[in-house]
Structure 1
Amino acid sequence: MGKYYWFIGFIMVFMGVTMQAQDFQGKAVYQSKTQVNFDFGNRNIPEDRKKEMMERIKRANEKTFVLNFNQTASIYEEEEKLEQPGERGGGGRGPRFGAMTGTDGDLYKNIKDQRYLVKNELLGKIFLIDDELESLEWKMGSESKKIGNYTAFKATATKTIKRPNMSAIFRRPGRGEDNNDDEKKGEEFVIKEVEIVAWYTPEIPINQGPGLYWGLPGLILAVNDDITTIVCSEITMNPSEKIEIKAPSKGKKVTQAEYDEISQEKMKEMRENFRNRGGRGGGRPN
């Protein structure tokens, strides 16, 4: 254990001096996959149709992100997908958790100020979420593994997460079930405490990472939060083409709590509209 901390300390001092001596910038590419369990309820949908819908939902929640970072700030953006033949909407139709939680847009993190801003579109309206970064109580471990060319160390933390419950929204009530039953149960969102598992490399000693993750003594290369896994697939240090790391500024400014409230109201509207149509549309949520 002593050798492990000595190694991290040496690498951080050496790399820190090197980075301060230059106009430091880096670029990391991440592959993100979110597991979606979608309940079709009692709707009479052919099995081949269900399979097609689940495949579209899966593709909609498999994304590539690019993190451009310097010593104090970063911008995390989704890489656009080319539309596949026979698909509409450039990646398939299906519930996208990011839009409802406010993490689907351009995410700017400033570690020095401990704030983040996200420009996000929700059902045709642009919002700018401006809030304080959450500080997780990371528990450092000695377990290590190779991710690409970098040695990464394990860290864990406990976090309360809030996710939209798409199955509750697009589930048609059965016989004797009231349309308002889900509302009474508060099922628009699922709130649960999960263990976050992250892998960071002290070879790049900055406090950055994918999404809203940060606060470890090295760039976070991989993270898992129960249903979403994000893994770094490529790193470029000091790329020849510099990217201006600039906070987004367009959109209606709201806090994360305000955005969550707006999102929950929109989800209720979606549920009511879907059920007023009698569940028609084959369960193809946007």
Structure 2
Amino acid sequence: MKRLVFYFQIFICCSIFSQSGEIIYSAETIPIDYEKKINNDSISETQKTYLRTVLKKQPAVWYQLVFNKNESFFEQLKPMEIERRGFNLTVSKMGKGVFYTNTSQNRILHQKEFNGQEFLIAITTYKWKLTQEKKQIGKYTCYKATTSKFVEGRNGKMERKVIAWYTNEIPFNFGPKDYNGLPGLILELQEDILLLKASKISLNPKKEKIINQPSQGEKVTLKEYNAIVKEMYYSRRKRN
């Protein structure tokens, strides 16, 4: 009888780890005081009025994370026509392109287009600080983890604080964008004023998701890509 229970437990474990699935995330920006920033910008009153109108009506944007035991692929779902109109702050904060992660090869790739050229950017992993703080997201108990992301901007490097809520009840260490490496699946993530929440989780132990690694684009490191963007930016300014 004990042997039967033992084999049953092994079967359950194998079933869990052979699962693949997908998560649909809603992405939105956390409301902040835009009025002060808009008033300080050196733009016309017409432009300020337009910005106030746009920023008050920011619809959520939807993204999909597909994963199996070793790989994941993250991309924006096909936007609806209403999402294509005008400026969307959430889309701007999320950035362009798709993200691919392979944990067995310790590889994270960000495929994106810039200035008409395709790039395949190698991303390094983040160092997480795990905590015992927890909360319930749907039926899952989630734990808080934090890290920092440094983004290259026009004025140099900017630090973005990142908070992730992951559940070890779903034993896959993936998450949205290039965030991964936690003891479970990330169901909620805040990067600066950007907030992503899992709205639908589909697990399918019977059919593994096939994920194709992106291969198109010039292969560069993140440091090399930032240097290319900076050089193009300053070249444009000189021409103008």
The runs of 5 or more residues in structure 2 that have no matched partner are 1-9
Q: Distance in 2 between matches of 1:91 and 1:242?
A: 36
Please state how far the C-alpha of 1:268 moved relative to its aligned partner: 3.5
For the pair 1:140 / 2:131, whether they are aligned, the reply is yes
Q: 2:118 pairs with 126, 129, 150, which one?
A: 126
Quote the residue 1:237 is aligned against.
Answer: 203
Cα gap change, 1:206/1:75 in structure 2, threshold over 3 Å: closer, same or farther?
same
**CA RMSD, Structure 1 to Structure 2 (Å):** 3.0
Q: How many aligned residue pairs are there?
A: 223
Q: Distance in 2 between matches of 1:137 and 1:207?
A: 12
Cα gap change, 1:264/1:240 in structure 2, threshold over 3 Å: closer, same or farther?
farther
The TM-score with structure 1 as length reference comes to: 0.67
Please state how far the C-alpha of 1:42 moved relative to its aligned partner: 2.6
Please state how far the C-alpha of 1:15 moved relative to its aligned partner: 6.5
Give the secondary-structure state (helix, strand or coil) at the position aligned to 1:261.
Answer: helix
Q: 1:68 pairs with 62, 66, 69, which one?
A: 66
Q: Distance in 2 between matches of 1:14 and 1:199?
A: 28
Q: Distance in 2 between matches of 1:55 and 1:195?
A: 24
Q: 1:196 pairs with 162, 177, 180, which one?
A: 162
For the pair 1:106 / 2:98, whether they are aligned, the reply is yes
Q: 1:162 pairs with 138, 151, 154, which one?
A: 151
Cα gap change, 1:53/1:196 in structure 2, threshold over 3 Å: closer, same or farther?
closer
Q: Distance in 2 between matches of 1:239 and 1:17?
A: 10
Quote the residue 2:5 is aligned against.
Answer: none
Amino acid at match of 2:43: R
Give the secondary-structure state (helix, strand or coil) at the position aligned to 2:53.
Answer: helix
Provide, for residues 193-216 of structure 1, a one-character-per-residue CA deviation record: whole Å limited to 9, x for no partner: 444221111110111111111111
For the pair 1:33 / 2:51, whether they are aligned, the reply is no
Quote the residue 1:219 is aligned against.
Answer: 185
Please state how far the C-alpha of 1:43 moved relative to its aligned partner: 2.5
Query: 2:176–2:186: 8 Å Cα contact kept in structure 1?
Result: yes
Query: 2:123–2:178: 8 Å Cα contact kept in structure 1?
Result: no
Q: Distance in 2 between matches of 1:229 and 1:251?
A: 29
Q: Distance in 2 between matches of 1:50 and 1:78?
A: 24
Amino acid at match of 1:263: V
Query: 1:209–1:221: 8 Å Cα contact kept in structure 2?
Result: yes
Quote the residue 1:48 is aligned against.
Answer: 49
Query: 1:145–1:151: 8 Å Cα contact kept in structure 2?
Result: yes
Quote the residue 1:93 is aligned against.
Answer: 87
Provide, for residues 143-185 of structure 1, a one-character-per-residue CA deviation record: whole Å limited to 9, x for no partner: 222212222122223x241153xxxxxxxxxxxxxxxxxxxxx
Cα gap change, 1:271/1:206 in structure 2, threshold over 3 Å: closer, same or farther?
same
Q: 1:151 pairs with 138, 141, 144, which one?
A: 141
Query: 2:189–2:197: 8 Å Cα contact kept in structure 1?
Result: yes
Q: 2:174 pairs with 199, 208, 214, which one?
A: 208
Cα gap change, 1:229/1:190 in structure 2, threshold over 3 Å: closer, same or farther?
farther
Please state how far the C-alpha of 1:53 moved relative to its aligned partner: 4.7
Q: Distance in 1 between matches of 2:235 and 2:129?
A: 38
Quote the residue 1:19 is aligned against.
Answer: 16
The runs of 5 or more residues in structure 1 that have no matched partner are 1-12, 165-187, 277-286
